[in-house]
Chain A
Amino acid sequence: MLNQKKLIVSHAPFCHDGSSISARSYHMMLAALPAVLIGIFQYGIPAVGVVSLSISFAMIWELAINKVTRRAISIGDGNAAVIGLLLAMLLPATSPWWLVITGTFVAVVIGKHIFGGIGGNPFNPVLIGLAILMVSWKDFFDFNEALVNYDLGFAMAYPLSVLKQLGPAGIVKYSMIDLLIGQQAGGIGATFGLGLILGGIYLIIRGFIRWEISVSFLAGVFFTALVFNLNNPANYASPLFHLLTGYTLIGAFFLASEDSSSPVNFISMLIYGASAGIMTVLIRNIGANVDGVVLAILLMNLINPLVDRIRPKALGKVV
């Protein structure tokens, strides 16, 4: 039975559906593009600078850590680029260069690689990066202060801080349509609600993110805000305002749904998403922080392994 022709021998199955991590990453970036482009259109060259620097440095850190830890080069999977892009979308256009570089370092190295790289991170790397920046350099994330030199023809006060300071009386000047089409101050890619929703729907339909998480997150935000609003309309803003401002939409479609730090079973995903939504509004309405999305999702990342134990009974399992 000797024959010189060498065949490939491997284990079944012998076909694959053709999906890949890089395809997921590229589609994620594609879906984020409308929101980013509107941000760049609004804030001009500084926004281009932040986005480019963030993506390139996320990839540079990834490459560097690959070299230092002597592991296979993994920038090809696009995950680092996604981290860079999403981090840039959350930052104000006026972020200084060192803030971006530090943020990407924390996100890629501390958020992802010290846990073993892709798939190993217990927290969303983007949010780890952002949370550390927010705690360390609070002033750069005061959007009123950061965007003080911009006049884009709409109210340049950050809606959530207006809400915090003046209550619902202060936010009557924001029409829901304006908020939806990005006529508000905020992060580079976090304000154009319509684009984020369309991108999110695209990702959901193509199966790149799990709809259960996004939908339950938005439902959590909506219903918690509704309860507050119905109880005391004079103190608490309407649910729609909460949905369209701050990081809610980008959080629902791009941050909460990050693969490694979110559950995969149906009920667990609903609990995870809804709890993050509820926490978001709790932080906004009764907490000290202006926006709650970042901390709410990080908190839920923490309980993800626990929640994900709620799973259907396996076939033939007696107990």
Chain B
Amino acid sequence: MIKRSFIGLAKTWMEYDALDITQPEPKKIPTSKKATLLLGRSYDHKDSILFNIGDKVKTGQKLSYSEDSDAYVISTVTGTISSISSFIGDYGKSYTAISIDVDENEETDDQFKAPAGDPTLETAINYLTGAPGNPSFEIFSDPEKSINAIIVCGVDSDLLMTTNQYAARADSNAIEIGVRILKKITGVDNIIIAVPQALTIDAAGSGAEIMTVDSEYPSTLPLLMVQNILGQVVPAGKSCEDMGVCFFSAEAVASIGKAFDDGRIPVTKTMTFVNKNGEKTLVTARIGTPISEIFKAFDVTLHEKDRVIVGGPMTGSSVYTEDYPVQADTDAVIVQDRDDVALVSDYPCINCGECIRICPANVPINMLVRFLEAGQYEEAAEQYDLYSCIECGLCSFVCVSKMPIFHYIKLAKYELGRISTVEETNA
């Protein structure tokens, strides 16, 4: 993949992939025989769940978990529910996995048609969470946060992918509608679309203010965008939402536009697929399609000890099964051959300073990692700027000792988060 340049003195220069303007239409992955939907709530078989094994579902049908819960998922296929089980995702987040045997004849549910005529925030919250691009509206109904700016990302958050750039270019009409609706339903007038230099013309018609973003990683990470676009520095430990800024991907805005325009909730996700040779292709697939279908379409054979990554090479997550379903926020799927898998080691930090030089947030990683290794998370947060980390993964990328620094940082934040949750509950 990306290697250290011969001239090691020069800063490692990593550029985001630019969208190939001559790119053909994304390759369509056929609907699989079985789809799995992940409902963002833990599964308890004692709950009175509103759907059952054997129920028929239609494309676009809303499957609510229970009467007393807001959690729902939109069915992306037509078929019969074959199983309901519990699924644990990253950082212990639990889901209810609903497997659906797909019928050949597709039927579309028109539940959304009536509310789509008059776009409101409530309709968006009730139907569009989990639409392609994963728009999130909860923040607008949180009384503690007041959002005054929305950044639409026509840039991709990680290397190797061009998913959102493609959306910004190909779906510019839907984005225009989406931006209009977002302004209406959220009441936020300050909507900014962030695009790479090459896509400014495509973004011109969106009705949002256009800002260009550097092509050097990690300038599209949320915290850095807030800094570079809005000129605000997010204090360590605070989120962009605390500053009144929230993010939508270009694809999410396009989904909002399409949904309200046609009265149908979009169900197809666009992704960048990177095969073992590093060749990139844009693909579209129904949300819930197992990623093994993508491998099948590209004749990729998985072997033992290969690695499958959902998301980008710097910030994505690897999955343990090729049955993992495509999610609303799956912007890329990457397969690495076992010979190309970069492993970490248990060597200590040798204090070479590579991480210090590459860190965009000036975190004293050489000291931080010593505390994190020893499990002294509180000291790390207090003295060595753990919360300034913007989670770009560059420190692990350049580490001469191949330490899993990024992993340590995420673990520390997770553990500290757990401690503060426990303290709050006990207080």
- A interface residues (Cβ-Cβ under 8 A, vs B): 1-3, 5-21, 24, 72, 77, 116-120, 204-208, 210-211, 259-260, 262, 264-265, 311-318
Contacts and interface: CB of A to CB of B under 8 A. Distances in A.
Contacts of B236: 314-318
Interface residues of B, number: 83
B314 A12 contact: yes
Interface in B1-32: 1-4, 6-10, 12
Interface string B361-399: 111101000000000000000000101101001101111
A259 B388 contact: no
A13 B235 CA distance: 25
Interface of B: 1-4, 6-10, 12, 36, 85, 87, 97, 223, 227, 233-238, 302-309, 311, 313-324, 334, 336, 338, 341-344, 346-354, 356, 360-364, 366, 385, 387-388, 390, 393-394, 396-402, 404, 406-407, 410
B348 A117 contact: yes
* A interface secondary structure, majority: loop
Nearest to B385: A314
25 contacts: A1-B87, A3-B321, A6-B304, A6-B320, A7-B304, A7-B322, A8-B338, A10-B404, A11-B407, A12-B396, A14-B334, A15-B1, A16-B342, A17-B398, A21-B350, A24-B352, A24-B400, A77-B347, A117-B348, A264-B366, A265-B353, A311-B362, A311-B364, A314-B363, A316-B236
Nearest to B290: A1
A154 to B, nearest CB: 35
Given A13-B396, A13-B397, A206 B318 contact: no
Contact of A119 (B10, B341, B401, B407): B401
Contacts of A312: 362
A118 B342 contact: no
B239 to A, nearest CB: 11
Contacts, number: 197
A315 B223 contact: yes
A101 B348 CA distance: 27
Nearest to B391: A12
Contact of B319 (A2, A9, A117, A265): A9
A264 B353 contact: yes
A120 B318 CA distance: 32
A199 B155 CA distance: 43
Nearest to A118: B350
B400 A7 contact: no
